[in-house]
Amino acid sequence: MDYPDLSRSDREALKAVYRLAKDGEGAPTGALADKLKLAPGTVSAAVKKLAERGLLTHMPYKGVELTRAGRTVAIAAIRRHRIVERFLSDMLGYAWNEADRLAGAFEHELPQEVEDRLFVALHRPATCPHGFPIPEPDTEDLPELPPLYALQPGDVAEVAVPGSTDPEVVEFLATLGLRPGVKVEVREKHPFDGPLVLRVEGKERTVGEKIANQIFVKKVS
């Protein structure tokens, strides 16, 4: 099911609801307004319009939820965003932490056939430059990546860093070698919210609980 006439703001709203609605609870309209950096009244009007099209439901005290069709459209928009990020990074040479900002400027204007050809030209990448998976077409859900701090000693995983991460945190992570796609092994986990000791590219690195909860990982065997 496709909705080619949806606007950029419509698709951004659907993506935001997908990311904010967790564990069976809807996205609060206030949180949605903050995420989209829009006035509450503007968000309420957008939610009403998308609900009329069968993409959202809005229940009092439960927040905004995606319908099955809405989830498919939201994930298709996330897929496109991640493919465009990969194009900006791999073909145009932009840094991975610049790609998120730039992709939003034109991703919504791409015809579907251009997205499809970009994906093939990029050799069908499995992840975006941040390390998050690029979903298959018509997918209704994305795999959840746990935070680095959820790992236990002996676990090995590949790192993913959100595009919204504070630039100072990104710079600090770079000094530790913690960048998207790098493999890490947890060597120690100190009790009582203590730091992790990691092996990163042959070196031991120590990361505090606060930072380790801002990084996400895909466990590998």
Q: Give the model confidence (pLDDT) of 82-101 as tens digits.
A: 999 999 999 999 999 899 88
Average pLDDT over residues 55-71: 91
Residue 13 sits at φ, ψ, to 5 deg, of -65, -45
Q: What pLDDT score does 22 carry? A: 77
d(CA 145, CA 48): 31
For the chain, domains (ranges, CATH) are: 8-66 (1.10.10.10), 148-220 (2.30.30.90)
Q: What pLDDT score does 186 carry? A: 97
Residue 188 sits at φ, ψ, to 5 deg, of -145, 150
Q: How many angstroms separate the Cα of 174 from the Cα of each of 2, 131, 180?
A: 40, 15, 10
Q: What pLDDT score does 2 carry? A: 63
pLDDT in tens, 9-23: 999 999 999 999 976
Amino acid at 75: I
Amino acid at 25: E
Mean pLDDT of the chain: 93
- Using the predicted structure, report yes or no on whether residue 27 has a pLDDT greater than 90: yes
d(CA 144, CA 217): 9
Confidence at 3, pLDDT banded by 50, 70, 90: confident
